[in-house]
Amino acid sequence: MTGSNVEEIAAAFADPEPSWVTLPPADVEAPVQLRDALDTFDAGERPAADAAARWLKTQALGAYQTARTRLLVVEHRVAGFYSLASAQVALSQHDRRRLGVDPVQVPAALVAWIAKDAGADTDGKTLLLHAAATARRAAALQATAVMVVDPFDAETTMMWRARFGFRSSAEPAERKRLWLPLQVLG
């Protein structure tokens, strides 16, 4: 990460207008405003929200080699975040036909973590749509057909299905990875 990216993060925290920034790797000295904002991020008390906030505070900086975490900075604080990684998902033959893809394991953009600050005026849909737009930009360079999530618990599974229309994968796990075609999101 160059110095200008660190300057971009500092500028985002100085500006009250909404900005998206990428969390730097752990070996880059992050601006103090960023560290303070991460420490005060509060996604709420639901188990999935609490787990996401803990991950952001304790592991996100170290995950730079395997995922990119984007922060929505509003009024000098982190209003929400998502972390994207590359993945694969097993889809049924019917779903693969509908998508026009052949392999059972389909390349995917994994929303590894996503949460909004409980006190922020940001909708979770805003975070998901930004993640989808980012995944589509990456898909132009690296084949990616779908966006996937690994729901934290049954409550979160129901939220992804009811609110956004995510579908169950063909994976054998009890709590299946959920997916949507990237072009549907947006």
pLDDT tens track for 48-92: 999 999 999 999 999 999 999 999 999 999 999 999 999 999 999
Question: Tell me, what's the pLDDT at 65?
Answer: 93
pLDDT at 1 over 50: no
Question: Tell me, what's the pLDDT at 3?
Answer: 43
Question: Tell me, what's the pLDDT at 2?
Answer: 40
Query: Could you identify the residue written with the tokens 């973590």?
Result: 113
* CATH classification at residue 69: 3.40.630.30
Kindly report the pTM of this predicted structure: 0.92
Mean pLDDT, the chain, whole residue set: 91
185: confidence class by pLDDT, cuts 50, 70, 90: low
Residue ranges in 79-141 assigned as alpha helix (H): 93-99, 124-139
pLDDT at 93 over 60: yes
pLDDT tens track for 17-33: 999 999 999 888 888 99
Cα 19 to Cα 23, 51, 60, 103, 149: the distances in Å are 13, 24, 19, 38, 24
Q: In angstroms, rounded to a whole number, what is the distance separating the alpha carbons of residues 6 and 12?
A: 10
Quote the domain boundaries for residue 119.
Answer: 3-184
User: Average pLDDT, stretch 106-133?
Assistant: 96
Cβ-contact 159, 114 below 8 angstroms:
no
Query: Could you identify the residue written with the tokens 């660190």?
Result: 6
Count of domains observed in the chain: 1
